[in-house]
Every structure is written in C-alpha cells, then in structure tokens.
A = this chain, B = another copy of it.
Amino acid sequence: MEERAKMMFGEILDDVRKYHPLIHNITNYVTVNDCANILLACGGSPIMSDDIDEVEEITSICGGLNINIGTLNQRTIPAMFASGKKANELGHPVVLDPVGAGASALRTDTAVQLMQQVKFSVIRGNSSEIKTLAMGSGSTKGVDANVNDVITEDNLEKAIGFAKAFAEKSHAIIAITGVIDIVADAEKAYCIYNGHPMMSRITGTGCQLSALTAAFITACPENILEAAAAAVCTMGVCGEMAYKRMGKVDGNATYRNYIIDAVCNIDSNTLEKMARFKIK
C-alpha cells in the first residue's frame, strides 16, 4: 500500500509542476517571502493580498487559498473570513495554518471561528496548535509545540486516533507536523518520518509547508488526503536533501535557502525513493 502511495506522491508532484496552481495567501509578514518562493519553487504561483476590499476578487482568480494566522490583526482577520467564504462558494481548496493558536485568545478564537464559518480542506499545525483547535482552547509555547505535545513512537497510536477523530469532527484533513508527521482523514493516516531536526531552527518551515500544501491540493483536488501527505513528505525529503548539502560553517540561514532550492529541484523519482511513511 505504501509503494502505491509513493508512486502517487510522485504523480502529484508532477501535477503541481504541470498545472502551476495559483495560490492566494493571507499570511504573516515574518515568513511571507519564503512562502512565496517555496510556491514558485514547487511550480506554483503565489499572490499575497489581505485587504478586505480585494480579497474576494483575488480569491476568485486563484485556484486555492492559504490562510495563516501568524501576525493576524484587526485589519486582516475580516479578510480571512471573507476570502475563506468566497473560496468555499467557488469550491476552491482552503488550508488553515493556525500559527500560535493557544498562545493568545485572539489566535485561538480566530482559528476556532474560522473553522466554524469556513470549510477547510486541510488544517496544518504543530501538535500544540492542533490540540488547541480540537479543545477550543489550549497553551502553546509561542509558535513552537509544547514538549508535552510532541509525537513519538510511544504515543503515536493515540495521536493517530486523535487526528482521525478531529478530522471526522472538522471535516478537514488534519496535518500535525513535528518529529513524526501525521496526515489523516477520518479513516486513514499517513505517519511520515521524513525531515530533519535542524528544520526547527529556521523560522517558517511550517508556514512554507502550509503554502506548499495549498499548491499540492489545488493541483490534485480529487485526492486531497494524498496531496496533503505528498506535500508534507516533499517538505521533509527536501529538509533531508538540504541538510546533506550543509558544510561545516553553514547555519540556519543557508539551510533555509537549501530547503527551498531542494523544493525547486526535487523530481518525482527522488520523492518516491526518499519518502518514508506508514499508512495506518
């Protein structure tokens, strides 16, 4: 089953390169440039726009929408709702990245209300953020996961159960990323082992992955679970490829560039060979 999925991941990557999905991003100003460049790297095309007076129009000319609540504010929050609803109307795939949900009431409430008013195709966050959404409240160490929430082999079965249950409840694919990534719908979970610990030393690998996920699911809307898992796998494999390039004096700035470079260069064969996951 995993072998067949690997081939599918390769085909999905090829589709992204073929269809050049145009993605509307309402995202934070911290990592926005990297999100744009990773979308271009994978074969997609980005447009960033967050003003209430244009977001519905921008959503309409795009194929997919990526809503990221990092550096959310009173001006951009209404734009998130308006574009999310417009995307739903048009049947466009929508990704939610609940950056820092649990770190403030504003973030938690905004994410929870977005989930109530917008149908998301995929919700991608770290374990603390996703736990916060599932509970409707929570606590997050800034934008990183709490140590207690880290997914390991020991609590993997439980985490899979949680992801599937939350996917069922939210009618969205749930992507929890960390040391082990889980991408699940109500019935099936991909447990992905790709990636490198150094990725957590760069700001915005999560934001970049959400943008990438939006491109993948927009290119393959008929198969959103696999497309989301393929995006997570691609990011992890590229993190590994980039780490192999690192010289002794390279640090997180160079690593950031190498990951985006890897996304730019990876082909479906490499993705198929390097992908490591189990289906549960």
Using a CB–CB cutoff of 8 Å, the interface residues on chain A facing chain B are 22, 28-34, 36-37, 40-41, 45-54, 57-58, 61-62, 70-75, 100, 103-107, 139, 141-144, 201-204, 241, 245, 249-254, 256-265
Contacts and interface: CB of A to CB of B under 8 A. Distances in A.
Contacts of A50: 71, 73
Given A251-B263, A257-B253, A104 B57 contact: yes
A45 B253 contact: no
Given A33-B30, A41-B253, A203-B40, A74 B53 contact: yes
Nearest to A52: B74
Given A30-B32, A37-B256, A254-B257, 19 more contacts: A22-B142, A29-B32, A30-B33, A31-B33, A37-B253, A40-B201, A40-B202, A41-B253, A46-B142, A46-B203, A48-B70, A51-B71, A51-B73, A52-B74, A54-B107, A74-B75, A75-B75, A249-B258, A251-B260
A41 B245 CA distance: 18
A268 B72 CA distance: 38
A249 B253 contact: no
Contacts of A37: 202-203, 252-253, 256
A248 to B, nearest CB: 8
Q: Report copies per complex.
A: 3
A45 B106 CA distance: 21
12 contacts: A29-B29, A30-B33, A30-B46, A30-B48, A41-B201, A48-B70, A48-B71, A51-B71, A57-B106, A58-B142, A61-B141, A62-B142
Contact of A245 (B33, B107, B249, B252): B249
Nearest to A106: B54
Question: Looking at chain A's contact residues, is the secondary structure mostly helix, strand, loop, or mixed?
Answer: mixed
B256 A250 contact: no
A29 B45 CA distance: 17
A210 B264 CA distance: 26
- For A105, A107, A249, A253, the residue with the greatest tally of chain B CB atoms inside 10 Å of its CB is A253
A203 B265 contact: no
Contacts of A51: 71-74, 106
Contacts of A73: 50-51, 75
B104 A54 contact: yes
A54 B142 contact: no
Contacts of A104: 49, 54, 57-58
A252 B260 contact: yes
